[in-house]
Structure 1
Amino acid sequence: MAVRSDADPARWRRRFIVWLDGIEKGWGVPLLLACFVAVWTTYLAIAYWGSGLHPDVLETWTLGRWLEWGYPKHPPLMGWIARGWTSLFPLTDWSLQLMAMVNAAVALWVIDRIAARFVAGEKRVVIQLLLMLLPVYQFHAQRFNANSVLLAIWPIATYCFLRSFEERSLRWAAATGVSTALAMLGKYYSVFLIASLALAALLHPARRRYFLSPVPWVSAAAGLATLSPHLHWLATTGAEPFNHALAHARASFLIAITEVYFFLTGLAAALASSAVAWLFIAGYRLKRLPEQFRNMDSGLWLLVLVSCGTIALPVVTSLAIGTDLPSLWALQGLFLFVLPVVCCTDYAISRFHTVNLAVLAGSIALIATVVAAPVHALYRNANGYEEGRNLYRPAALELTRRWRAMTGTPLQAVSGDDALAFATAFYSPDHPYYVRPFAYQHSWKIPRKTILERGWAALCFADQLECVAWLRDTAQHVEDSVQPSFEVQAELLGRPGVKRTIIALLVPPQAEPVPAPSNSSENFSAIRRSAK
């Protein structure tokens, strides 16, 4: 069937064949990625219509409102990216949804640059389509946080390392150091990528030529130079992100074994859809896979060693020190398993199979956008989310309205339940600053006097008992405060949805009102210092 189709393709297939001819001409992959971004951004806009952004995305934007070399919970890369993006695009849901999909598309484009070093034409696009079948580049990517920010930076670091190892170029060596340092600035889990790169270089047959050249030392120097401001920040601020990371450690050995089991099975499940699709393409030729691995290109073998390291090293670490090990921490490295399997094939892939795979990936995306997204939006409007995200916007607007009616000034500072506070900062037209210090997120402290004097508001859902008790305790320490409660309701296309009650605390300015701070890091740093 494949032979007949390639010899005399059906009319509807001929447009796909024109597109496949454009792969090596340079426009085929960019067109595919542009369609990927357009369709999946549309999906997110429809599926979450009437809902707020995920709390992780709102937290990322909140962190990015000031540029520092580190934040108490996470390294700074995700905040930097969000700050840069929102400097160019408006503060809207679709804008940050677009940012997430562009991040995924950049990851796929860099992976194609790696694939182009080993294969051409159909095999390059098959790799792209197999990765698009994974839930990683749509659903994991849309929650832009410290995990999904690695989707693009891991392929970039891998590509730079591959070039530096094969070419022993000082330029690519420096790029490797900078990109791996950026990966660490994304999330400290990237230490496993760096260790895997070093381990792969040690185990590779060409290790002698690599380590006798200046390349690895240039990479190390460039990486340390890039990381040095963050390392200085850690040394002078108490290394709070390390404390946050260590909170995932010190579990029992039995728990660690369970974590490893779910880590491995979770990654296998994430790869399942692509594995089944590849099974249909390769068919009986899968039995040649061991031979193809033995005859694998030197660069591909390097990628195989890196992929093994990114799985083995976290597993060994988890068993040794008893850490949490969710599989989502490693999703950004799944491309390292798809690439070698496709690139090592010594046979041509029929255009019949390639077109079928493109139709499959496109059909899933279109059905998700046209059918699943509206159903999801309607369901969530009626049933809500556990975190209450489809009530974020009405809560923020109502709090702002009450604040302005009481004080006549813009709302400058907000805290309370973290997700509601992040959402109020984002959705309120005043864009107040989140002023609860991240270091105290898991303890409920009375705000400092200077914060209260400036004017401050906080809010919780009525069923968040610890947060509500904190509001009432705070109200007892503040004169002239107002503690209203109000009901907010979700709405989608005029259709009323779920309701919840908000408990708020409004503390008007105690002295001459100060101007609302701009988005400058200096003004926000002053508020943060007074919050502490």
Structure 2
Amino acid sequence: WLIALRVVDYRRAFFIVMLLALYPIFNFKGFKYNPDLLQLVTLPLVVLAYLHAFEKRTARSGLWLGLAGALALMTKYWVLTMIGAVGLAALMHPDRLKFLRSPAPWVAIAVATLAMIPHLMWLKEVDFLPLTYAGDVYGLSSRAQSAQLVLGYVGHNLALLAVPVTLAALALAWTSLVRPSAALARIWSRGANAGGNRSQALNIWIIQIVVAVGPPLGGLFFTVYMKTDWGISLFFLTPPALIAIPALRLPKIALFRIAAIWLLLTLATLVASPYIAAREMAENPNAAASYGARSQLARELTQEWHMRFRSRWAVVAGTTEVGEPMTFYSADHPAPFTPGEVWSSGLTSLEEARRLGFIGICDTSDGRLPVCEAWMAANGKDAEQVTITTQRFFHGHPGPAISWKVYIVPPAK
């Protein structure tokens, strides 16, 4: 909403928000929580801070831009695509000299650099392992495979964008569907349009084009394993980029239509979602990774710890797929410790886990079970071993029954 108001008027801003609400990433496809989804918070902040700095050109606006950039970088290095696009927009804009002669961009660079110093020091301490990890995991030797993945990335994101764009066209041309030429004449005109800020719209157009075209071309050039998830955070500017086109006319009735479409689709999805889950469970009953009852396991383990030690459960040891859900679902929110990590998360340590006591968890359906058991045997010699089985049900359809090998290590005396 705030980004839209810097580019268009209130009527168009409302239409843009409705389009984002219809974009599957924001509404219907929030099936997992990861850094790619978290960028949907940090990257809009970067764009908003940039538009503000480009308009105000003050040191204070540069401060906010620098902090927003640092926050985004700490989410995932992939945000360099958006930060690079912002930089290109600043350099390509006709008013670039006004911006570059102001303190805003230089304060932003200085603040972002200062804010990132602790992280850069940590990177040096771990010998830049996150970067080498990315190169090892996502580097490909086959250009043909890279091209295939890039095509999949492009097709996936185009399909997602087609949903709000098609529904927007439907809302704009609702009463003229039988006469497309009349509909086009009504919503498209070359006359003057006071509903947009062309200077800020140009920033949006440049940024969106760069982040839409740059990553696929980079993936092809560097033969990178392109994941479809990487596009999650890069297309939230498509609605404002389209609605800010000066020739587009937006009748008031289109606001009601797009809101009605959003409401009907949302209600239909909410009504259908339990049946979708039940059908999915019936067709794929053994998907332990997706349907494991981790919340139930977290509750049971929290109770087990309290019964034995009358204290807060402080540390959970296990793979990220097991440990982090325990941190999320348990009322004690134990710090996760991942055995075998090349570098520590900084949330806890093996020494602290031994001092405070911990619960180790091995998923018997995981191929890494032998490694997990070996670590527990070496680091939980005084552990009480328990086997817990959990299972979820969807409309009477049983989910996978998962057995967890649990190691309860008491606090040090």
Give TM class, smaller chain.
0.7 to 0.9
1:337 maps to 2:238: yes
How do 1:368-379 and structure 2 match up within 5 A?
Answer: 368-369=269-270, 371-379=271-279
In the alignment, what sits opposite 1:265?
Answer: 155
Q: Counterpart amino acid of 1:427? A: Y
Alpha-carbon offset, residue 463 of structure 1: 2.6
- Percent pairwise identity: 22
Q: Which of residues 311, 323, 337 is equivalent to 1:421?
A: 323
Alpha carbons of 1:141 and 1:476: their partners in 2 closer, same or farther (altered >3 Å)?
A: closer
In the alignment, what sits opposite 1:31?
Answer: none
Q: Which of residues 347, 350, 360 is equivalent to 1:458?
A: 360
1:196 maps to 2:196: no
CA distance in 2, matches of 1:229, 1:469: 33
In the alignment, what sits opposite 1:327?
Answer: 228
How do 1:5-404 and structure 2 match up within 5 A?
Answer: 112-141=1-30, 143-252=32-141, 253-280=143-170, 281=172, 283-285=183-185, 297-346=198-247, 348-369=249-270, 371-379=271-279, 383=285, 385-400=287-302
In the alignment, what sits opposite 1:434?
Answer: 336
CA distance in 1, matches of 2:48, 2:329: 39
Alpha carbons of 1:278 and 1:496: their partners in 2 closer, same or farther (altered >3 Å)?
A: closer
Alpha carbons of 1:379 and 1:320: their partners in 2 closer, same or farther (altered >3 Å)?
A: same
Contact 1:491 1:497 (C-alpha < 8 Å) held by counterparts: yes
Alpha carbons of 1:211 and 1:166: their partners in 2 closer, same or farther (altered >3 Å)?
A: same
In the alignment, what sits opposite 1:98?
Answer: none
Alpha-carbon offset, residue 464 of structure 1: 2.2
Alpha-carbon offset, residue 290 of structure 1: 9.5
In the alignment, what sits opposite 2:179?
Answer: none
Q: Counterpart amino acid of 2:158? A: A
Alpha-carbon offset, residue 319 of structure 1: 2.4
Alpha-carbon offset, residue 261 of structure 1: 1.3
In the alignment, what sits opposite 1:471?
Answer: 373
**What SS does structure 2 have at the residue aligned with 1:414?**
strand
Residue by residue, what CA displacement relative to the aligned partner does 1:75-119 show, whole Å, maximum 9, x if unpaired? xxxxxxxxxxxxxxxxxxxxxxxxxxxxxxxxxxxxx22322343
**What SS does structure 2 have at the residue aligned with 1:395?**
helix
Residue by residue, what CA displacement relative to the aligned partner does 1:251-306 show, whole Å, maximum 9, x if unpaired? 1222222222122212211110122123332642499589999x992321222111
CA distance in 1, matches of 2:91, 2:162: 31
Alpha carbons of 1:379 and 1:451: their partners in 2 closer, same or farther (altered >3 Å)?
A: same
Alpha carbons of 1:213 and 1:507: their partners in 2 closer, same or farther (altered >3 Å)?
A: closer
Residue by residue, what CA displacement relative to the aligned partner does 1:503-526 show, whole Å, maximum 9, x if unpaired? 4142543852xxxxxxxxxxxxxx
Residue by residue, what CA displacement relative to the aligned partner does 1:474-496 show, whole Å, maximum 9, x if unpaired? 43786554444343222468x57
Q: Counterpart amino acid of 2:167? A: A
**What SS does structure 2 have at the residue aligned with 1:179?**
helix
Q: Counterpart amino acid of 1:334? A: F
Alpha-carbon offset, residue 129 of structure 1: 1.2
**What SS does structure 2 have at the residue aligned with 1:439?**
coil
Alpha carbons of 1:406 and 1:341: their partners in 2 closer, same or farther (altered >3 Å)?
A: closer
Q: TM-score, normalised by structure 2?
A: 0.81
Q: Counterpart amino acid of 2:213? A: A
CA distance in 2, matches of 1:353, 1:510: 63
**What SS does structure 1 have at the residue aligned with 2:289?**
coil
Q: Counterpart amino acid of 1:270? A: L
Contact 1:468 1:503 (C-alpha < 8 Å) held by counterparts: no
CA distance in 2, matches of 1:470, 1:172: 49
Q: Which has the higher contact order (CA 8 A, sep 6+)?
A: 1
**What SS does structure 1 have at the residue aligned with 2:33?**
coil
Alignment RMSD: 3.5
Residue by residue, what CA displacement relative to the aligned partner does 1:202-239 show, whole Å, maximum 9, x if unpaired? 22222233333433222212221222232233233433
Contact 1:415 1:457 (C-alpha < 8 Å) held by counterparts: yes
CA distance in 1, matches of 2:103, 2:303: 62
Alpha-carbon offset, residue 501 of structure 1: 3.7
Alpha carbons of 1:301 and 1:240: their partners in 2 closer, same or farther (altered >3 Å)?
A: same
CA distance in 2, matches of 1:292, 1:334: 28
Alpha-carbon offset, residue 428 of structure 1: 4.0
Residue by residue, what CA displacement relative to the aligned partner does 1:147-200 show, whole Å, maximum 9, x if unpaired? 112112222221222232244333223322221222112211111112111212
**What SS does structure 2 have at the residue aligned with 1:332?**
coil
Contact 2:318 2:336 (C-alpha < 8 Å) held by counterparts: no
CA distance in 2, matches of 1:176, 1:503: 46
Alpha-carbon offset, residue 431 of structure 1: 4.1
Q: Counterpart amino acid of 2:159? A: A
CA distance in 2, matches of 1:151, 1:406: 42
Contact 2:318 2:362 (C-alpha < 8 Å) held by counterparts: yes
CA distance in 2, matches of 1:421, 1:221: 37
Alpha carbons of 1:468 and 1:485: their partners in 2 closer, same or farther (altered >3 Å)?
A: farther
Alpha carbons of 1:496 and 1:231: their partners in 2 closer, same or farther (altered >3 Å)?
A: same
Alpha carbons of 1:292 and 1:262: their partners in 2 closer, same or farther (altered >3 Å)?
A: farther
Q: TM-score, normalised by structure 1?
A: 0.64
Contact 1:393 1:423 (C-alpha < 8 Å) held by counterparts: yes
Contact 2:188 2:248 (C-alpha < 8 Å) held by counterparts: no
**What SS does structure 1 have at the residue aligned with 2:359?**
strand
In the alignment, what sits opposite 1:485?
Answer: 387
Contact 2:294 2:322 (C-alpha < 8 Å) held by counterparts: yes
**What SS does structure 1 have at the residue aligned with 2:23?**
coil
Aligned length: 393
Q: Counterpart amino acid of 1:254? A: A
